[in-house]
Amino acid sequence: MNDKRVRALLPIVLAIAGGILIFNLIAFAFGEAPASALRLAFEGTWGTPYGLGQVLFKATPLLFTGLAFEVALRAGLFNIGAEGQLALASLVGGLVASKLPASLPMPIALPIVLATAAAVGALVAFIPAILRARRGVHEIITAIMVNRIVDAILPWTFTTVLGSNSLRTADIAPGAALPRLDRVVPSFAGSAASFAFPLAVVSVFVGMALLERSRLGREIRWVGFRAEACRAEGIDVERRLLLAMLLSGAIAALAVSSTALGYKGYYELGLGAGAGWSGIAVAMLGRGKAVGIVLAAIFLGTLEQAGLAVNARVPKEAMDVLEATLIVLVAVASRVAAKGSRAATNEGPEPEPPRDKPAPTPASEEARS
C-alpha cells in the first residue's frame, strides 16, 4: 500500500523537480542567476502573506477548470473548450449580477448568478457535446471552433448589443459579490483571495466524491472505461457523454466566482482568460484525486503568481512554457513509474481480463499515463 502511494507521488515529484530545472534554464537563458530568480519567485508567492493570498486567488479558477476537465476525462472526453465556456458564462453571469436589485440578500443573489453562469457554461459545452454524442464528431475540433466563436461574441455583445463604449459590465449587486478572505485572515490584506477559494475546494471534493460514489458518476466512468460493454448493458452511452460534457461546462463556468464576483466586482473582457487551459494541466497533475487536484491548482497558481513576481527580469510567459512542459513531464514520468512497477512485481496493475480483446484501460487512465 505504502509502495503504491510512493509510486503515485513519484511522477509529481519528478515533474516538479524537472520544472524547477527548466525554470532555472530559462532564467539562465535570460541572463539571470537562477538562484536569484528563484528567490524572487519565492518572495512573491509563499514568502509573504500577501503573496500567499495571491497564490490562492490564482489557484481558485484553476480548481474549477481542473475539476471540469477531470469530469469530462472520466467519460473519455477532452473538454478543451473551458476557455470559451467560462468566458461566455462570465459575461452573462456578470450582466445578470449587475441587473439584480441592490437590496437582494446574498443567499438569494449569489445562487442566482452562479446558476446562470453554470447554465450558460453548459449551453456552450452543448455544441461539442451534441455533435460528439449524435454525430461522432471529435469534441476537440468543435470545442476550439466554439472557443473562437465566443471570442467574437464577447466584444460584439458589448459594442453592438449593449451599445457600450467600455468592454465591461456595470458593477454587480452587492449581494452577488463574494467577500475577500482578509475579512477572516487579516494578513491577506490587499490580496484578491476571496471566499471563492473555500467554495472551489469544497466543490472539488464534493465533485470528485460524486464522481466516485453517485450513480451518474459511476455510469460516466463506465462509459469512459468501456463504451461498448455499456451499450450492450443497455446504458445510453450517448446520453452519459452528453451529460458529462454539460457538467464539465457548468463546473468550468463556476470559476466566475473568483474573478467577477470575488475580485473585480464586474466582468470585463479577458477576465479569467487562460484558466481553461491551465485547468488541463491541473487535471493531469492531479492524477484523478481530489487532494491531487487541489494541490496541483495551488502549485500552478504559485507558478502564475511567481511569473508576475519575476516578470521584470524573466518574461512571465516562461511560466506558461513550464506549464506545458509539466503536462508532458508528468505524463512521461507516470508512464515510466507504471512500467517500472509492473516489471518489479511482474504483474499487471489490475487482474488480467480475458484476452479476447486488448486489456481495457479507462480512457481517463490512458490519457493520464
Interacting residue ranges for other proteins, rule: CB under 8 A: 26, 29-30, 78, 80, 127, 131, 135-138, 140-142, 144-149, 152-153, 155-156, 159-160, 277, 280-281, 284, 315, 317-318, 320-321, 323-325, 327-328, 331-332, 335-336, 359, 366-369
Map the chain to HEC letters: CHHHHHHHHHHHHHHHHHHHHHHHHHHHHCCCCHHHHHHHHHHCCCCCHHHHHHHHHHHHHHHHHHHHHHHHHHCCCCCCCHHHHHHHHHHHHHHHHHHCCCCCCHHHHHHHHHHHHHHHHHHHHHHHHHHHHHHCCCHHHHHHHHHHHHHHHHHHHHHHHCCCCCCECCCCCHHHCCCEHHHCCHHHCCCCCECHHHHHHHHHHHHHHHHHHCHHHHHHHHHHHCHHHHHHCCCCHHHHHHHHHHHHHHHHHCCHHHHHHHHHCCCECCCCCCHHHHHHHHHHHHCCCHHHHHHHHHHHHHHHHHHHHHCCCCCCHHHHHHHHHHHHHHHHHHHHHHHHHHHHHCCCCCCCCCCCCCCCCCHHHHHHC
Cβ-based nearer residue to other proteins, 149 or 209: 149
Least distance to other proteins from the beta carbon of 149, Å?
A: 5
Least distance to other proteins from the beta carbon of 4, Å?
A: 21
Least distance to other proteins from the beta carbon of 83, Å?
A: 11
Least distance to other proteins from the beta carbon of 271, Å?
A: 18
Cβ-based nearer residue to other proteins, 249 or 265: 249
User: Rounded CA gap, 44 and 203, in Å?
Assistant: 28
Least distance to other proteins from the beta carbon of 318, Å?
A: 6
Least distance to other proteins from the beta carbon of 168, Å?
A: 17
Q: 50 near 191, Cβ under 8 Å? A: yes
**Short-list 254, 42, 266, 242, CA closest to 162:** 266
Cβ-based nearer residue to other proteins, 115 or 273: 273
Least distance to other proteins from the beta carbon of 82, Å?
A: 12
Cβ-based nearer residue to other proteins, 106 or 331: 331
Least distance to other proteins from the beta carbon of 19, Å?
A: 13
Cβ-based nearer residue to other proteins, 229 or 336: 336
Cβ-based nearer residue to other proteins, 136 or 186: 136
Cβ-based nearer residue to other proteins, 204 or 281: 281
Cβ-based nearer residue to other proteins, 99 or 148: 148
User: Rounded CA gap, 321 and 103, in Å?
Assistant: 46
* Burial of residue 143 (number of CB atoms within 10 Å: 0-12, 13-18, 19+): buried
Cβ-based nearer residue to other proteins, 58 or 180: 58
Least distance to other proteins from the beta carbon of 136, Å?
A: 5
